[in-house]
Structure 1
Amino acid sequence: MRRIVTMMLRVAGPYRDRFAASIRHSVIGSLAQAGAYASMLPILHELSRPQVEAAAAWRWFAVFAACYAVEAVYRCREIGFQYTEWTGVIESIRLRLGDRLRRMPLRELERRATGDLTTVVGGNVVNAALGVSAVALVFLQMVIVPVVLIAVFLVVDWRLGLTLAVVTLLAVPFVRQVQRISGSGFRRVDEADAAAASRIVEYVQGLPVFKATGQVGESSVRLRAALQEQTRHQAESQSRSALPALYAAAVVQLGVIAVAAVGTALVLGADLTAPILVAVVVGAVRFAEPLATATTLTAMFEITDAAIERVTEVLDVAPLDADPDARITRFDVAFDEVAFGYTGAPVLRGVSFAVPARSFTALVGPSGSGKTTVTRMLTRYADPDAGTVRIGGVDLRTVDPTEIYRHVSVVFQDVYLFGDTIRANIAMARPDATDAEVEAAARAANVHGFVERLPHGYDTRVGEIGGALSGGERQRISIARAILKDAPIVLLDEPTAALDAESEVAVQQAIDALVADRTVVVIAHRLSTVVGADQILVLEGGRIAERGRHAELLSARGRYARMWAAQTRARHWRVEAETAKVAGVEGGQ
């Protein structure tokens, strides 16, 4: 209980003090409720005497009424927190999760599946807030009322108190067993829920591929396996805790019978009056009520516990260190003996180079050579394992990622557009931009032409992930977004690699508008697009194998020259194949 309340106080965030106050209110209300039940005993005792002392009876009745009044006041305060602050707690948790995700190293963020994070921010947050608003308070009542009633029964007659204490001790092992089973079970259920959510996201996003391969509906092996695993864990969690829960309820019910039997024996032995016995039985029933529901509440408590654990796991991820006063004022780039690896596997090994401001640097090399990792280090995807990455002479390990992104625009090969309008997708770079500024960026990126042909123009919705547009159109929108941002540093992950010839020309023109008079680092797969680069860095095995201008690298007859020769031959093969195809068609005619 202490551990969970501590976790709940942390999850409550800005509502921590009010939640702590609601716990105090719940304790006071529960004590007052137990006191009201206890005061019934002296009232009945006074009323059952041959000579009733009206003044004493009224005094105890006043105590009874006062206890209920205190309970009502504090219960209202407690319920007020539950009903008025619950949504605020949910909002607070989600905002703090969003802030932590924003400041989380991208390497750590990519380690987590989309469905897993969706489950944390969605259902886990609601269950965690439920604990903050209700479960802990009900649990306190469940504990406090029986404890006070046992103390009262011990005062009335030690045998009655002992009977209730024994019942409690007999029921506790079953409740603890339910707790253990539910605890581990709900954690497994939660993990299975997250896995199923990830597979659902994967299924929806990859539906065209699944259709093409015949893996839809019952044939969707990956989704079906995840859903079956989810169902299995849910069924196991319920069935394994059912029997201990029944045993606990049975022990509690037998306890009420035992108290009534002991009380009856005391009445027959003239050690207890009949009215007091009635009060004792009523108290025993009230005592049994929270214990009978203990197993259900324990299961709810474990759901909350599992949810809080998953929420706090995300909140506990250490954000990137940063100096709040660190600012980037120049826009040259430098790598100094940078080493970096993923899960222990080295990707960059002692990489050093400099990119002067307003210059064009190309990264080329085979897949897995470290090109994308170099650009990721420039956006502080993660801090290097060794060496230093600088922008404008400032070590990026001291700079908040938000400050970095203020000065860096990134255009990826795989474009992500949001399910909104073309205008909204471009304006994401600068939400305060006017329609005229958005249109100017769109014209510079060769977007305006195809937008004019759409029925709703810039208010046309692009569909989920931009699915209503072609690859070239999506790419140009992402470039328009970067142009509108007007950042002095531009990172390009070969945005023309997957485009047809016509789209490539349009996108290349948009890129020319984007990179003018900026510091540019581009990952190039087609070497013909970087012939005019100020410097070309050839990466191989995580190291810079060659560097220089296009002509210098060709004359060196090294790795770059061989890549150039291979791509030149491939272009000739395509041209000859197209010529032969055309000739064959004409000959057939």
Structure 2
Amino acid sequence: MIRLLLRVLGQQYASPLRRAVALMVAAAVLEGISYALVLPVLRGLLGPTPDSAWPWIAVFAGTVVAYAVLRYVADLTGFRVGAALLRGTYRRLGDHLTALPIGWFTPSRVGEVSVLAGRGVLQAMSAVAHLLGPLISATLTPATVAVVITFVDWRIGVAAIVAAPLIGAVHVWTERSTAAGDTERIAREQEATARVVEFLHAQPVLRAGDRNAERFEILDRSLRDLETASRRTTLRTIPGAIALTTIVQTAFVCTMVLAVHVALSGDLRVPDVLAVLLLATLGADPLLSLNEIGGRIRGARTVLIGIDDVLETRPLPVAPCPRTPVRHDLELNAVTLRAGGRTIIDDLSLTVPDGHRLALVGPSGAGKSTILKLLARFSDVDGGAVHIGGTDLRDIDPVTLMAQFSIVFQDVYLFDGTIEQNIHLARPDATHAEVRAAATAAQLDDVIERLPDGWSTVVGEGGAFLSGGERQRVSIARALLKNAPVVLLDEVTSALDPLSDAAVHHGIDRLCNGRTVVMAAHRVHSVRDADQIAFIDHGHVVEQGTHAELMLLNGRYAEYWAMSDPIDV
């Protein structure tokens, strides 16, 4: 657990963590010593001179006070280290996630990271603050008691110590038998959570189509799977719990029987017998809590393993001597990309001269959006190379590379702030006037006038209080404010009404003016004026040319054009 924590967080946390563990160890041993002092106290009280017990009572009281102070300091240190580890985990996880390629963030991974970064991190770090101390006490305090009993009578001490390897073996066996169940339960829990969110988000559609019962069955099935997995995990822990309790209770009974036997043989005095029985009781009680603590520790370890897996994901490599492109022409040279065991882009080559516009057209799933992501280096290619200004993207510093692009996607995410704050994200050093000018160029003035508080209106999480077209205009305003030399547009008008479509296209025209542009589109009317059009299918360039040239070919593009909605023509 400690090694895993330090691997996740780094060695800079080793000293405070080890200091906390040392304090907890000292507190646990001191607790056992305070129990051991019962022996001389009883010998004095039950001996011929009871007054001789007072010095030992004073020592006992002082030890208990010292233990209480040390326990307080150890627990406080554990809480502080836990809080520091929590901050460190969030900081390291956040820094690492910002360095990972954007293509890594698939929906399933986003859900997994959301669970890990939310409840998971809190669960793992609470192990240091709340579980590490009790775990150390539950093992070292009984061990200290067993050592003390050995000094009273070695035979009774050996009987108590024999239980230690058996308890360790049961603990290891329980961990191994429940590991697979824990993994399955966490996977089912994530699936059930996703289904609950899906069910809630889909309520308008489900109610309109009277499909709630059908979707509820899917949710109900995932919850039943979670229940089954949880039951399996619980059943797998029961044998370990029973075995642990049996071993501890058996050792306790054997210790008592042996103590009585030794006492009856005259080798042990009455005060010593009472002390041994009391110490055995005090030592057995913490051991019985090991099963519960172990289960919670296993849960924390599972989370740490998940975090460690994320942190082990390597970011895109950075060139040791980065270069800065001086031109803004784009080239994909024999590019190949594979994912999920299949080839998505296959030996594809395209060229976009500086200041020209390339439109990507083709059916859904053809690879258009993937091409845009490769141009922005959301992931690295498996074959070939992508260049900007003649420079391989892999030879450009990531910050310098992203400064070359303004990207407008179909799905726009806005933060829960004002429109001005959301636009400002593109260039934090922009002046108020520059932000307003970008908003005007993106046709946002009429939107702002309709909002109840104008520029100060909060748009809600994800831009929930704005329509799709309004969110697109905010996204275009961001891109205008950034003023990057290359623009990537991904299906930005495919789901807009005609009025919003016209407003967004006006903003796009302003955005694209004088820049190198690559756009993916469904509506062919939006690509008719492009300098070059490439028809993409199954990761290949099927046809390429101007609109007029492709229409003369009477091939796939002409067929696509003929099937377009009249509004597109």
TM-score (norm 1): 0.87
Question: Counterpart in 1 of 2:35?
Answer: 37
Give distance in 2, aligned partners of 1:119 and 1:505: 40
Structure 1 residue 384: Cα displacement: 0.4
**1:417 corresponds to 2:408:** no
Question: Counterpart in 2 of 1:159?
Answer: 155
Structure 1 residue 531: Cα displacement: 2.9
Structure 1 residue 400: Cα displacement: 4.9
Deviates more, 1:210-219 or 1:424-433: 210-219
Structure 1 residue 96: Cα displacement: 1.9
Question: Counterpart in 2 of 1:571?
Answer: 566
**1:389 corresponds to 2:369:** no
Candidates 119, 125, 136, aligned match of 1:123: 119
* Matched position secondary structure for 2:130: helix
Are the structure 2 counterparts of residues 203 and 326 from structure 1 closer, same or farther at C-alpha, using a change threshold of 3 Å? farther
Deviations 1:158-209 (A, max 9, x none): 2211221344455555544543454433332222221122223323333322
Give distance in 2, aligned partners of 1:484 and 1:222: 45
Q: What does residue range 220-235 of structure 1 map to in structure 2 within 5 Å?
A: 220-235=216-231
Deviates more, 1:280-289 or 1:191-200: 191-200
**1:28 corresponds to 2:26:** yes
The percentage of counterpart residues that share the same residue type is 35
**In the alignment, is the contact (CA less than 8 A) between 1:146 and 1:287 conserved in 2?**
yes
**In the alignment, is the contact (CA less than 8 A) between 1:218 and 1:224 conserved in 2?**
no
Are the structure 2 counterparts of residues 279 and 80 from structure 1 closer, same or farther at C-alpha, using a change threshold of 3 Å? same
| Partner AA of 2:355 in structure 1 | R
Q: What does residue range 2-81 of structure 1 map to in structure 2 within 5 Å?
A: 4-13=1-10, 14-42=12-40, 44-45=42-43, 71-72=67-68, 74-81=70-77
Are the structure 2 counterparts of residues 216 and 324 from structure 1 closer, same or farther at C-alpha, using a change threshold of 3 Å? farther
Give distance in 2, aligned partners of 1:315 and 1:234: 28
Which runs of no fewer than 5 residues in structure 1 stay unpaired? 576-589
Deviations 1:427-457 (A, max 9, x none): 3323444443322211101111122022222
| Partner AA of 2:20 in structure 1 | S
Candidates 513, 527, 530, aligned match of 2:527: 530
Q: What does residue range 182-581 of structure 1 map to in structure 2 within 5 Å?
A: 182-216=178-212, 220-242=216-238, 244-323=240-319, 326=322, 328-330=324-326, 331-567=328-564, 571=566
Are the structure 2 counterparts of residues 19 and 153 from structure 1 closer, same or farther at C-alpha, using a change threshold of 3 Å? same
Give distance in 2, aligned partners of 1:464 and 1:207: 19
Structure 1 residue 376: Cα displacement: 0.8
Are the structure 2 counterparts of residues 222 and 439 from structure 1 closer, same or farther at C-alpha, using a change threshold of 3 Å? farther
Are the structure 2 counterparts of residues 431 and 220 from structure 1 closer, same or farther at C-alpha, using a change threshold of 3 Å? farther
Question: Over the residues paired in the alignment, what is the CA RMSD in angstroms?
Answer: 3.0
**In the alignment, is the contact (CA less than 8 A) between 1:101 and 1:109 conserved in 2?**
no
Give distance in 1, aligned partners of 2:559 and 2:179: 61
Give distance in 1, aligned partners of 2:320 and 2:453: 44
Deviates more, 1:223-232 or 1:208-217: 208-217
Give distance in 1, aligned partners of 2:320 and 2:219: 44
Deviations 1:271-303 (A, max 9, x none): 111111222122111210221111111111111
Candidates 83, 87, 91, aligned match of 1:91: 87
Give distance in 1, aligned partners of 2:566 and 2:215: 41
Are the structure 2 counterparts of residues 120 and 142 from structure 1 closer, same or farther at C-alpha, using a change threshold of 3 Å? same
Give distance in 2, aligned partners of 1:431 and 1:221: 48
TM-score (norm 2): 0.90
Which runs of no fewer than 5 residues in structure 2 stay unpaired? none
Give distance in 2, aligned partners of 1:560 and 1:175: 67
* Matched position secondary structure for 2:180: helix
**In the alignment, is the contact (CA less than 8 A) between 1:33 and 1:71 conserved in 2?**
yes
**1:138 corresponds to 2:149:** no
Give distance in 2, aligned partners of 1:533 and 1:169: 76
Give distance in 1, aligned partners of 2:278 and 2:400: 67
**In the alignment, is the contact (CA less than 8 A) between 1:5 and 1:136 conserved in 2?**
no
Structure 1 residue 53: Cα displacement: 11
**1:104 corresponds to 2:100:** yes
**In the alignment, is the contact (CA less than 8 A) between 1:321 and 1:398 conserved in 2?**
no
